[in-house]
Every structure is written in C-alpha cells, then in structure tokens.
Amino acid sequence: MDKRMLVLRFPNSITDKPIVCRLSRDFSLDFNILKAEIFPGREGLMVLEISGPKKEMSKGLAYLKAQGVVVTPVAREIRRNDETCIQCGACTGMCPTQALSIEPGTFRVLFDPRKCTACGMCLMICPVRAMEIRFAKEKILA
C-alpha cells in the first residue's frame, strides 16, 4: 500500500471534468479531499490524501498528469522559516497531524512536512508567521 499527501493543480480547461473520481473508479485508489478551490473555467487547486496499491498509484498519477493536472507532494508546498521562528511551540498544540512537535530535552519545535496536511492551523496561531504554505508561484498563506 502507498499513501501520499498531494497538491493537484487543474488548468482552467479541465476543471469541469470528473477527473478525481476516476482515481477511485479506474485505479482503485482511496482519497480524502482536504482542501479544494475549483471553479469551472478557472484554474483549480486541490489537496488530497490518497492511498492504494503502489502499482495503481503510479497508474493513477500518470493519468492525472496526462490530463494536464500538475501533481506536487504537499511537503514541497509547506515550509517553516527557521530564521523567523522563535521556538515558542504555540503551533504544536494546534497541529492535528503532529507535523509540528516539541523535541524532548531541547524543547525545540520540530517540523515534519511529510505529516502535514496543509490545514493552515499553524498559520493562524504562529505569532511571528514563521509557517508558509505556497500553493502558487507566490506565497498565498503566511
């Protein structure tokens, strides 16, 4: 079994097509939509947690790319600005996936982008805005 957290970007020409539902029907993949901003005729964005057999995952991702969907791991879209972070730990209490945690002994805030679902809770609580989510070329959440 394979499990991934992905950001899908849909060109405006395909936002009115049932592309994601085919992942389940044609490739036996399960998915959970964590965030979606898709409107007909405009570019769309979706954050998915997707799981299934590795071979089917490869086929499903190839299908998405062949349709013109840009697929990126969520971990590439999330970052913590270590220069800005003051290690207060406020974000760790809000993180539902424990992507942000306190290291025992040093009390430093650790960030594991592979666990992050891009929910944005840390963005709201961080007093210095050290967390950044980039869903486009420009930073849209910080």
The CATH number given to whatever domain includes residue 82 is 3.30.70.20
Residues 128 and 117 in one domain: yes
Q: Does a structural domain hold residue 138?
A: no
- Starting from the edge strand earliest in sequence, which strands make up the sheet with 30-37, in order? 30-37, 44-52, 2-10, 70-73
Residues 68 and 35 in one domain: yes
Residues 112 and 71 in one domain: no
Count of the separate structural domains present in the chain: 2
Neighbours of 135 (CB within 10 A): 20
In sequence order, which residues have a C-beta less than 8 Å from that of residue 103 and are 6 or more positions away?
A: 109, 110
pLDDT digits (tens, 9 = 90+) for 118-131: 888 888 899 999 98
Residues 13 and 60 in one domain: yes
Arithmetic mean of pLDDT, 105-129: 88
pTM of the model: 0.72
- Residue 114 is predicted with a pLDDT of 81
Residues 112 and 82 in one domain: yes
d(CA 17, CA 110): 40
Q: Which residues constitute the domain of residue 21?
A: 2-75
Helix (H, G, I), strand (E, B), or coil: what is residue 46?
A: strand
| pLDDT band for position 15 (cuts 50, 70, 90) | confident
Residues 9 and 71 in one domain: yes
Q: To which residue do tokens 């929910």 refer?
A: 119
pLDDT digits (tens, 9 = 90+) for 17-32: 888 889 999 999 999 9
| pLDDT band for position 136 (cuts 50, 70, 90) | low
